[in-house]
Structure 1
Amino acid sequence: MSRPPLAVVVKGWPRLSETFIAQELVALEAAGHPLALWSLRHPTDTKTHPLHDRLAAPVNYLPEYLHDEPGRVWHAWRAARRLPGYKAAVRLWRADLSRERTRNRVRRFGQACVLATELPEGTPAIYAHFLHTPASVARYAAVMLGIPWAFSAHAKDIWTSPDWELREKLALGPGGASFGATCTAFGAAHLRDLAADPGRIDLVYHGLDLARFPAPPERPLRAPGAPLQLLSVGRLVEKKGFDRLIDALALLPDWLDWHWVHIGGGELKDQMKAQAEAAGIATRITWKGACDQPEVIAAMRTADLFVLPSRIAANGDRDGLPNVLMEAASQLLPIVTTAVSAIPEFITHGTHGLLVRDAPEDIAEAITDVASDPAAAAEMATAALARLRSDFAVDPGIARLSDRLRELGA
């Protein structure tokens, strides 16, 4: 009789902004890993990507808030108290709670009790996507059950978590992760500095499964005076820098005929629209909201320039290596972005695209340069596609992660 599947803890499922997680899980299933998802939150997006439909794993939802399902949480807590590692998990949780007295920390422990008591007997291990909340739930539950756990870290979870918490999750011994994967060399270096055993941290680029994307379109050179179709894809949150882009668009020269399309949701939508109105450029902007991947790719195939002005938010949050940059490269779309975090691991300035500071005047200058020299922009787009194919294919990373997960559950 086969063993129960690997338990995968995610923050929410499905999420339009996290295609990299869906891509990885579908690839792991194709590599022979039986999976079962445990989501901390119910979906909020009204659309899904076709990729989500390819995942065969069952999806289980933990109580998003403990008061939503008090009976389930109460029975789980009573059952969890009989688990062999419950007292050790409580000690870890109390130590964490003493340094972070929040409802969120209490909720994590309650969710961990539900996870630990509802996992099938014989579950070999727990694997969490994101090193903050999902990893905390995975860690407490794994200690209760006496099984190993591991994580995949990305961006916000690395840069907004306190160092004490990262060190303890990366420690050797009870409560420490057996291994961790992260998707950028920039993030891997930071985690290795905090880890008791740096060898437990693997650099695993998400890469892009080009089999899921159409061949790039034929792109005749745009005439220098023709309208410039700009595209951005990303949530309207501080770290994406779209406020700086709106200011940059207002600085573009009068001779340049342009239109900007934005795809994505986010809490700053009203603020961004008001900013565009105040700048007098609202009529040159289309806000498309959240779109599924076929809609995103269709927009990329008709645009002239992809712009992603990522920056470091006030709380330290920042992008890792946004997959949308690789998606744009897959469609031969020239790129203007910033040298934040791991973006320079994919884009070399002047070779694969233009890297600028997140200052509006610098962004405006780069957009103008692309508009003025379509041939140079096309050369950079061709080089970015070549780099994507040679160094950022999905298969090597999945092979490494697959080996790690087999060791984890052995």
Structure 2
Amino acid sequence: MKVLFLISSFPALSETFILNQITGFIDRGVDVEIVAWNKVNNEKNHPEIEKYSLLEKTHFLNNNSVKSQRLLGGLKIAAKSIWKAPKATCQAFNYRKYGKMIFTVRFLYALPYFLKRQKFDAVICHYGPSGIIAAYLQNQKLLPENVMTFFHGNDVTTFVKKHGSNVYDSLFAADIKLLPVSHQFARLLKAYGANSEQIQVHRMGIDLDKFHPVKPSILGETVNFLSIGRLTEKKGMDVTIKTMYELKKRGLRISLEIIGEGALRNDLEALIINKNLEKEVTLLGWQSQTEVKQAIEKADFVLQLSKTASDGDKEGVPVALMETMARGKLVISTHHSGIPELITNNKHGWLVAEDSVPETTEKIIEVIHHPEIWTQISEQARNKIHHEFNIKKLNDTLIASCAGGIVHAQKNV
């Protein structure tokens, strides 16, 4: 079987869920090719990139980050492709049908590859905008394969807010399966105009074999906290740091490690200094999957205090939470987006209100004072991941769908 993955940027360090899906397909003998718009030049990549020779399997469509040069390049492509595919080239400028997406010139940059590429059994798009490109290509008879599109987060929140609720009309009208990672996102897609029969919730998952469970242990003199995620507003790292300040004021000896990089790093460093938490809080930056597992192992509690960003951006279902729950770690998160679909409050962990330092502080103190419930919570969290977020089962289901079957991961909305 041959499967094409159509994604935005590669290899994106934070998108381990896409990486693990791709490597899972390769492990099952699937011939994989990746098409990405931009190449991400990281100081270091996840080891799987080299192990699976993924860069050799990737075709990059557009590496130019300068808008004027990108537009000029698109016009040059149009001048060449107008003779080979006049209708497809003209449709790349169809504002009435595709709206502001035409100004990204991604339709044009996709043409040279899709006019000459080999045929696949299926095409998997990650994020809604890639699905719009797929719909355009399908309309031009350039994508006859079985196509599906995953929706992860900002593609159903900020992207829609920016481009309008009709931005996905062409995608919804195409013969493409829609695979949101949460039921909340499924409801949003339906509200935007998608047909319920197109929509099938398909979770992102993790490899349970890589996360052996441990029972919660008695706390030492210092309570060790861990937060994992990009340093962006929706991850709520500022709330986490402020909560550490309140816990310290209460007399707790605390340590917090934050794994991830992002635009808010300088702001968070300033907040740490402002709260005199330089000895207690450490920004570790990006870490490999092996290093993340080691950090999870030594943590007593994992905090994921996600919140709705000022621009409307929201989480999907955070993979970092899945990894920590699979390890049997105790997690405290928020009533945010798809997180309650992963954590039932007081059963798989604990949930607090978004952006609430007081409530989070009180909840942590309450949990610390009731160690008798830790083991049961830990086991229930592990079982939740095993039954609903096991990437091996999810990949088997997805591969069956690529072969022409139906995705059965979750019922339709």
- Using the size of structure 1 for normalisation, the TM-score is 0.87
Give secondary structure in 1 for the equivalent of 2:261.
Answer: coil
1:293 to 276, 280, 289: 289
Mapped contact 2:179–2:201 kept (Cα < 8 A) = yes
Residue 240 of structure 1: aligned partner = 235
1:116-148 CA deviation, whole Å, 9 max, x = no partner? 23x42445554311002x233333334334324
Mapped contact 2:136–2:170 kept (Cα < 8 A) = no
Task: Identify if the C-alpha distance between structure 1 residues 92 and 71 changes in structure 2 by more than 3 Å, giving closer, same or farther.
Answer: closer
Identity in percent: 23
Residue 148 of structure 2: aligned partner = 150
Equivalents in 1 of 2:73, 2:344: separation in Å?
Answer: 55
1:115 to 107, 113, 116: 113
1:79 to 71, 81, 98: 81
Give secondary structure in 2 for the equivalent of 1:46.
Answer: coil
Mapped contact 2:97–2:170 kept (Cα < 8 A) = no
The residue identity in structure 2 corresponding to 1:167 is: D
Mapped contact 2:17–2:319 kept (Cα < 8 A) = yes
Mapped contact 2:325–2:378 kept (Cα < 8 A) = yes
CA drift of 1:70 comes to: 6.1
Task: Identify if the C-alpha distance between structure 1 residues 109 and 339 changes in structure 2 by more than 3 Å, giving closer, same or farther.
Answer: same
Equivalents in 1 of 2:82, 2:285: separation in Å?
Answer: 42
The residue identity in structure 2 corresponding to 1:399 is: D
Higher mean C-alpha displacement, 357-366 vs 296-305:
357-366
CA drift of 1:94 comes to: 5.2
Q: 2:181 aligned with 1:183, yes or no?
A: yes
Residue 25 of structure 1: aligned partner = 22
Count residues in correspondence: 392
Equivalents in 1 of 2:198, 2:90: separation in Å?
Answer: 23
Q: Residues 316-395 of structure 1: matches in 2 within 5 Å?
A: 316-358=312-354, 359-395=356-392
The residue identity in structure 2 corresponding to 1:156 is: N
Contiguous gaps of at least 5 residues in structure 1: none
Equivalents in 2 of 1:28, 1:50: separation in Å?
Answer: 17
Mapped contact 1:84–1:145 kept (Cα < 8 A) = no
The residue identity in structure 2 corresponding to 1:267 is: A
1:278-315 CA deviation, whole Å, 9 max, x = no partner? 12223211110000100000000001110010011122
Q: 2:226 aligned with 1:231, yes or no?
A: yes
1:202-258 CA deviation, whole Å, 9 max, x = no partner? 1111122212x14234543225xx210010000110110111222222211432100
Equivalents in 2 of 1:255, 1:244: separation in Å?
Answer: 19
Contiguous gaps of at least 5 residues in structure 2: 406-413
1:34-81 CA deviation, whole Å, 9 max, x = no partner? 221011111143222233345455111111337269679725651355
CA drift of 1:92 comes to: 4.2
Q: Residues 391-406 of structure 1: matches in 2 within 5 Å?
A: 391-406=388-403
The residue identity in structure 1 corresponding to 2:154 is: K
The residue identity in structure 1 corresponding to 2:199 is: I
Mapped contact 2:207–2:391 kept (Cα < 8 A) = yes
- Using the size of structure 2 for normalisation, the TM-score is 0.86
2:3 to 6, 14, 21: 6
Residue 201 of structure 1: aligned partner = 199
Give secondary structure in 2 for the equivalent of 1:157.
Answer: coil
Equivalents in 2 of 1:268, 1:341: separation in Å?
Answer: 21
Equivalents in 2 of 1:112, 1:84: separation in Å?
Answer: 14
Task: Identify if the C-alpha distance between structure 1 residues 86 and 178 changes in structure 2 by more than 3 Å, giving closer, same or farther.
Answer: same
CA drift of 1:333 comes to: 1.2
Task: Identify if the C-alpha distance between structure 1 residues 106 and 394 changes in structure 2 by more than 3 Å, giving closer, same or farther.
Answer: closer
Residue 59 of structure 2: aligned partner = 60
Give secondary structure in 1 for the equivalent of 2:200.
Answer: strand
Residue 96 of structure 1: aligned partner = 98
Mapped contact 2:82–2:90 kept (Cα < 8 A) = no
Mapped contact 1:88–1:143 kept (Cα < 8 A) = no
Mapped contact 1:80–1:113 kept (Cα < 8 A) = no
Give secondary structure in 1 for the equivalent of 2:35.
Answer: strand
Equivalents in 2 of 1:123, 1:392: separation in Å?
Answer: 27
Give secondary structure in 2 for the equivalent of 1:248.
Answer: helix
CA drift of 1:343 comes to: 0.7
2:306 to 279, 303, 310: 310
Give secondary structure in 1 for the equivalent of 2:224.
Answer: strand
The residue identity in structure 2 corresponding to 1:235 is: R
The residue identity in structure 1 corresponding to 2:227 is: S
Task: Identify if the C-alpha distance between structure 1 residues 180 and 196 changes in structure 2 by more than 3 Å, giving closer, same or farther.
Answer: closer
Mapped contact 1:108–1:136 kept (Cα < 8 A) = no
Compute the RMSD of aligned alpha carbons.
2.6
Mapped contact 1:7–1:36 kept (Cα < 8 A) = yes
